[in-house]
Amino acid sequence: MIALRIFTFLSIFLSIPSILYADVTIWKEILLENFESSTYSKSNIRTKLEKDTPLPDLSLSQNFTAPIPGSKQALVLRVPKLSNFPFSVYFPEAILLKDFVKEIRIPVYSSGSNGNLTLIIENQDFETRQIAITSLNYRGWKDCVVSFANHIDQNDRIFLQGSSLRMLGFFYLPNENNSNNQEVLIAIDDITAIVRDKYRPLRNKELLLED
């Protein structure tokens, strides 16, 4: 009996590293957008104001990138005082998120405008939602992490029939106390996601929902 208990204990003890290794390696980081293969222009900017309202300047820059390895180009927004109003920037094509997303990582530059930046997501019910990225109350580059697991339902409506979220773009909301003479500068670099396969072998087969 004692020998059986010792063998059971050793079996559990030796299996712990493999369990921990599986939990660690189940996640992977994928690139969603690096702003190097798509074309952006003012046509990607949308606002609910009048058509003649001056739009912010939007460009792709090779000289103004985040301090991250391999970055060659970033999306840059210059918002003059006449254009400092709420607006959205849409990707040329929506980015599909087919895997289970733990978080989105986005390097964001701010000139200290005190506005807010959110991520525009379309869920599998075709409803548009916004998830906060960061308050722009800082100067310089900041690595922003957008948590998905606690903010949006990613479970397929029908088990094993794949569905996906769609990442549409960004929404900028200025701070009403900004100086009228203040030019706002925002830059966004390589967007990545921490993901795993949507359906993995379950430790408890009675649990069908994602955790």
User: For the segment 127-180, what is each residue's pLDDT rounded down to a tens digit?
Assistant: 899 999 999 999 999 999 999 877 787 776 665 556 678 999 999 999 877 666
When pLDDT is cut at 50, 70 and 90, the band that residue 113 belongs to is confident
- Name 165's Cβ contacts closer than 8 Å, sequence gap at least 6: 96, 97, 101, 121, 122, 123, 124, 152, 154
What is the pLDDT, as a whole number, of residue 114?
A: 82
φ and ψ at residue 137, rounded to 5 degrees: -90, 45
Q: Is pLDDT of 4 > 50?
A: no
What's the average model confidence in pLDDT over 119-123?
93
**d(C-alpha 92, C-alpha 169), whole Å:** 9
Higher pLDDT, 73 or 157: 73
**d(C-alpha 84, C-alpha 1), whole Å:** 76
* Residue (of 95, 115, 116, 99) closest to 166 by Cα position: 95
What is the pLDDT, as a whole number, of residue 123?
A: 86
